[in-house]
A = this chain, B = another copy of it.
Amino acid sequence: MTTVQDPKSITFADVKRAARNIASFAHRTPVLTCETLNEMTGHQLFFKCENFQKTGAFKFRGAINAISNLAPEQRKQGVVTHSSGNHAQALARAASLFEIPSYIVMPSSAPTVKKNAVICYGGKVTECEPNLDARLSTSAQVQQETGATMVPPFNHPDVIAGQGTCTLEFLQQVPHLDLIVAPIGGGGLISGTCVAAKAIARRIKVFAAEPAGADDAFQSKKAGKLIPQRNPQTIADGLLTSMGKLTWPYVRDVVQRVILVSEEEIVTSMKLFLERTKVLIEPSAAVAVAAAIGKDMLKPQSPRNIGVIISGGNVDLDNLPW
């Protein structure tokens, strides 16, 4: 029995509102199945392909929802964030669809290809020193100069609600899921997943998949308190951050298990998935696949219907990890 120990930041009504907000902007991504992976595992696996989402990741949902919820006068001042990953691209693209400016603070160490992707989507890039203090101070400065609204990558109700639309869709597409596995980094995706899944059917379990080399969610859940991530070591570059104050309560109270996977499992799963399904997933997404097909997943008496959220597919094809 899951007990909710304090009020959570969003409700299912927020997720449904987010679904209406994003409907004309985001793709309704397909659900993929693979006979070989089902035979391998004895489960019925369903993959919700957010790598086919605009900008190649689920992050677009939260970004669009956050912008949708701004008042018109606020919106026209634009949005700002600091990120070198999928959130940066998502926010730049979402802003361009609303024809408003986006200001993206990126560490000077970010790969040129990532900067160019943000610029291509219409984002204005400001470089800063590659540390958290510089990111925060630079984005605060940009915010002050431009009047833009900060849209953080995960620790924001509108972002969490937007990410929750992924599971709302997933359960419309495959209503009989018993379990949903999603990767955890900052926790925006898993929190939205918890809200949507539990509201739709309380019996649905939510598992978080985390790299053993960046196991703050696992350690926090074990300790019963939020322990920040220190010195993460993983190829899953979308899962390096610590959880936030808004996302941790969902992990603590609603997520049933945090499954850890090794770096080898991540790479093997990424390659196996590409080979068998012909679909490219990024290492952070492969973390959830590795958890779903891994030895640590309980072997049930009868095959279970397991939903896996494929969080993104942005991969540097010149540096594949095998």
Binding site for B on A (CB under 8 A): 30, 49, 51-52, 56, 271, 274-275, 278-281, 313, 315, 317-318, 320, 322
Which one of A56, A275, A320 has the highest number of Cβ atoms from chain B below 10 Å of its Cβ? Answer: A275
Across-interface contacts of A275 in B (CB, < 8 A):
315, 317
Q: Which of B56, B278, B317 contacts A52 (CB 8 A)?
A: B278
- 19 A-B pairs whose Cβ atoms sit less than 8 Å apart in the complex: A30-B30, A51-B278, A52-B278, A56-B278, A271-B317, A274-B280, A274-B317, A275-B315, A275-B317, A278-B279, A278-B280, A278-B281, A278-B313, A279-B279, A279-B280, A280-B280, A317-B320, A317-B322, A318-B322
Q: In the assembly, what is the distance between CA of A172 and CA of B12, in Å?
A: 38
Which one of A279, A318, A320 has the highest number of Cβ atoms from chain B below 10 Å of its Cβ? Answer: A279
Q: In the assembly, what is the distance between CA of A320 and CA of B320, in Å?
A: 10
Across-interface contacts of A49 in B (CB, < 8 A):
278
Extra inter-chain contacts (17) besides given A271-B317, A275-B315, A278-B313, CB under 8 Å: A30-B30, A49-B278, A51-B278, A52-B278, A56-B278, A274-B317, A275-B317, A278-B279, A278-B280, A278-B281, A279-B279, A279-B280, A280-B280, A317-B320, A317-B322, A318-B322, A320-B320
